[in-house]
Amino acid sequence: MAGSQARPDAYVYDAVRTPFGKFGGALAETRPDDLAAAVVRATLDRSPQLPAEAVDEVVLGLANGAGEDNRNVARMAVLLAGMPTSVPGSTVNRLCGSGLDALFAGSRALETGDAHVVLTGGVESMSRAPWVLPKPSRAYPAGDVTAVSTTLGWRLVNPRMPKEWTVSLGGANEQLQQKFGISRTRQDEFAVRSHERAAAAWAEGFYDDLVVPVGDVTKDEGIRPGTTVERLAGLQPAFDPAGTITAGNASPLSDGASAVLLGTAEAAAVIGHDPIARVAGRGAFALDPQDFGFAPVEAAHRALARAGVGWDAVGAVELNEAFAVQSLACVDAWGVDPEIVNTRGGAIALGHPLGASGGRVVGTLAARMRAERVRWGVAAICIGVGQGLAVVLENNDAQEAGVR
């Protein structure tokens, strides 16, 4: 069409996160809106040439939203971080995929010309998730009312939902284990590798530029470098007495926040430095709710198709480790070399603050691609109630990067 222009590309300029704290641990006294404000402020401080008013939008992911993170935590973060009140903020909720969904929204805004600089990310304080009471349909009910924890899982379930859809997250993954025959030993070995790789990455300084302190908290709290398969084998199954999933081969409840700074190619002039990666493709997929752990498989296929590359070109994968069993099922289905997956540890060791994990996997992937001289990478995440998201990044130094 006459006068038409090529669609702008969206680029990752920076990524940062807080340390991830254990449930009831070092970050439990920090409000989620303060965690979010911390990464927003840190992102601006890391690009000092970028005027805060030049940020067109702040989009954050959040899975809960029932407590101090209510009333649009992204807008709260804008205000608490000291940004001008003219900067808008919006919060998106796709449960565990919320942080990655925020990046989807931000990158689309850039590609359509609606924005030039967008700050995305996510936050979750599972420690501070409140108990809630359902509002009665009639005044003054005579019976007792039960307070429901909003920390994790489906609550206040609609009774019209089929029972097979509303099993616990762990119960659903026990079904996945039975379907694919992934042994307890394999799951425990995967978990041990997550801790070993996370500890090594911290020791090597990989996370020094990716993580900003929150008060005196400087490092992820859940890493156990001395974990062994033998120790994990002694843990009891958490969801089924005859099952394989334990507290040792599943991600823990966590607190934390993440941020990813996005912009167009032209935004480099205002941001003050070059981008580190291009958002090359996005993919979303959904299936039966109880099969959610397997949803990243097709989401990644779709993202790669939109990027125009195949798995043979991918040199780095960041898959959020909700459970070892679903991670292994996805890696097996993709047919990729397990050695390119989560080389700096994953959520089993680092933690999984639901809304923040999407930003974490993207930030880690972009940093890995530069460090490992990889051109193409995939970040993916499973989502409760039967969904998965994935994004493909291209190293901005592609001419110098090794192509696999």
Residue 364 main-chain phi, psi, to 5 deg: -65, -40
Please indicate, yes or no, whether the overall pTM of this predicted structure exceeds 0.85.
yes
Contact 65/93 with Cβ under 8 angstroms?
A: yes
Q: What is the pLDDT of residue 400?
A: 52
User: For the segment 324-380, what is each residue's pLDDT rounded down to a tens digit?
Assistant: 999 999 999 999 999 999 999 999 999 999 999 999 999 999 999 999 999 999 999
Confidence of residue 399 (pLDDT cuts 50, 70, 90): low
Q: What is the mean pLDDT of residues 138-159?
A: 89
Q: What is the pLDDT of residue 27?
A: 98
pLDDT above 60: residue 39 = yes
Q: What is the pLDDT of residue 137?
A: 83
User: For the segment 272-282, what is each residue's pLDDT rounded down to a tens digit?
Assistant: 999 999 999 99
Contact 316/369 with Cβ under 8 angstroms?
A: yes
Q: What is the mean pLDDT of residues 92-112?
A: 98
> From CA 190, how far away is CA 267, in angstroms rounded?
40
The chain-wide mean pLDDT, for the chain, equals 95
Q: What is the pLDDT of residue 189?
A: 98
Q: What is the pLDDT of residue 41?
A: 98
Q: What is the pLDDT of residue 315?
A: 97
Q: What is the mean pLDDT of residues 209-238?
A: 96
Q: What is the pLDDT of residue 402?
A: 52
> From CA 162, how far away is CA 148, in angstroms rounded?
21
Confidence of residue 2 (pLDDT cuts 50, 70, 90): very low
Q: Report residue 32 as tokens.
A: 């989620």
Confidence of residue 140 (pLDDT cuts 50, 70, 90): confident
Tell me which residues are annotated as active site. Answer: 96, 352, 382
> From CA 249, how far away is CA 89, in angstroms rounded?
36
Residue 374 main-chain phi, psi, to 5 deg: -110, 140
User: For the segment 161-198, what is each residue's pLDDT rounded down to a tens digit?
Assistant: 999 999 999 999 999 999 999 999 999 999 999 999 99
Q: Report residue 70 as tokens.
A: 């209510």
User: For the segment 294-310, what is each residue's pLDDT rounded down to a tens digit?
Assistant: 999 999 999 999 999 99
DSSP codes of every residue in 307-342: HT--GGGEEEEEE--SBHHHHHHHHHHHT--GGGB-
Contact 123/74 with Cβ under 8 angstroms?
A: no
> From CA 101, how far away is CA 104, in angstroms rounded?
5
pLDDT above 80: residue 91 = yes
